């Protein structure tokens, strides 16, 4: 068991908010998926105070190495979530982390106050990093704004408060440090990286929301660098995410300082990816080497089965 901010977790793999609909998954895959739940905790899709329709379509654009979304936070709003979603999600066999977003400090405070009362909720994740809001305002890009927000909501609950950071900021560790100093229990990163696609015929933006958030393998290297710089800057736990599709990516993020790792885009391809990645991660610390390690070039033990190392071993053209 892992202790994360006082919450007991069976392993370090959780889902990234908004990438796994546990209620729909139960309908589509039956109770088996729920019984063998792929994640050690469930992070719900973002809840806002008022119900939202989300952005106009198209909402997705596939990339050579990932996905770009402009979903725009569709949700039933706080009242709808409490009445309909929470009772369903409370039946999951793992702790529930509710992701919330407000368009002002008062709205975030209202959300935190509401969930502070609910025993079904183990922790809250404050989404200060959605790239897909009409205002273009991303609270989480400014350390002072994040500090003001945390100071306002920290006194409202004893539950762990996780601040979800944006990669679209000039100094991400400074934002993380501001969150920590104002009482955050943990930080999570990266949310998606802002991007854009052009309609091939009209020349207009493809996405209904004009810009979107890039996720998947395309952002893995960015996530790794940002997780490392944030983990170096703060003492609170870091949840690392960004392009994780194999246990060794999770292993890398943990090596960079992440206490937990979240899986996002890969779950769209394979709803049980979380469970697979958790077992691959368990093996990553103790791999059976499957090929020779080049003397002086091999990474120590656990990193033996790198794709690039495999390429190096196979390549007949590389100088020895």
Please list the active-site residues.
130
Draw the binding track, 76-115, toward ligand RRO (x: CB under 6 A; -: no contact): ----------------------------------------
Nearest to 62 by CA among 194, 206, 190, 189: 206
Q: How far is the CB of 28 from ligand RRO (least distance, A)?
A: 21
CA distance 269 to 254: 23
Residue 192 found at the interface with ligand RRO (CB under 6 A): yes
Closest CA to 246 of 293, 284, 215, 298: 284
> How would you classify the pairing of strands 186-189 and 260-263?
unpaired
Q: How far is the CB of 284 from ligand RRO (least distance, A)?
A: 27
> Which lies closer to ligand RRO via its Cβ, residue 52 or residue 249?
52
Site track for ligand RRO across 118-157, x = CB under 6 A: ---------x-xxxx-------------------------
CB 54 within 8 A of CB 74: yes
Residues 24-83 close enough to bind ligand RRO by CB under 6 A: 46, 69-73
Cα–Cα distance, 272 to 266 (Å, whole number) = 9
Q: In the complex with ligand RRO, which residue's Cβ is closer, 12 or 140?
A: 140
Please state the closest distance from residue 264 (CB atom) to ligand RRO, in A.
Answer: 9
* Residue carrying the six token digits 């890009």: 141
Whole-number Å distance between alpha carbons of 16 and 264: 5
Tell me how far, at minimum, the Cβ of 189 lies from ligand RRO, in Å: 11
Which helix (DSSP H) or strand (DSSP E) does residue 75 occupy? none
Contact positions toward ligand RRO, by CB under 6 A? 18, 46, 69-73, 127, 129-132, 191-192, 213
């Amino acid at each position: 068991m892992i202790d994360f901010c006082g919450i007991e977790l069976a392993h370090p793999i959780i889902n990234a908010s908004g990438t796994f609909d546990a209620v729909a998954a139960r309908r589509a895959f039956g109770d088996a998926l729920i019984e063998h739940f792929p994640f050690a905790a469930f992070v719900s899709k973002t809840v806002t105070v008022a119900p939202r329709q989300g952005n106009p379509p198209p909402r997705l654009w596939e990339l050579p190495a990932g996905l770009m979304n402009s979903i725009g936070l569709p949700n039933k709003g706080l009242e709808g979530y409490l009445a309909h979603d929470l009772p369903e999600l409370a039946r999951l066999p793992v702790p529930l982390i509710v992701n919330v977003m407000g368009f002002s400090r008062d709205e975030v405070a209202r959300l935190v106050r509401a969930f502070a009362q609910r025993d079904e909720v183990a922790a809250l994740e404050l989404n200060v990093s959605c790239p897909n809001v009409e205002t273009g305002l991303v609270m989480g890009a400014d350390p002072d704004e994040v500090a003001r927000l945390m100071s306002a909501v920290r006194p409202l609950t004893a539950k762990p408060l996780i601040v979800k950071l944006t990669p679209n900021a000039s100094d991400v560790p400074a934002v993380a440090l501001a969150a920590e100093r104002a009482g955050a229990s943990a930080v999570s990163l990266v949310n998606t990286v802002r991007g854009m696609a052009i309609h091939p015929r009209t020349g207009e933006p493809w996405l209904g929301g004009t810009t979107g958030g890039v996720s998947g393998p395309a952002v893995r290297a960015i996530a790794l660098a940002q997780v490392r710089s944030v983990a170096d800057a703060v003492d609170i736990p870091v949840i690392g995410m960004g392009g994780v599709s194999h246990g060794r990516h999770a292993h890398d993020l943990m090596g960079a300082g992440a206490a937990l790792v979240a899986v996002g885009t890969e779950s769209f391809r394979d709803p049980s990816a979380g469970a697979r990645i958790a077992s691959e991660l368990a093996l990553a610390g103790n791999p059976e080497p499957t090929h020779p390690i080049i003397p002086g070039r091999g990474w120590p033990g656990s990193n033996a089965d790198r794709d690039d190392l495999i390429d190096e071993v196979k390549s007949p053209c590389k100088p020895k």
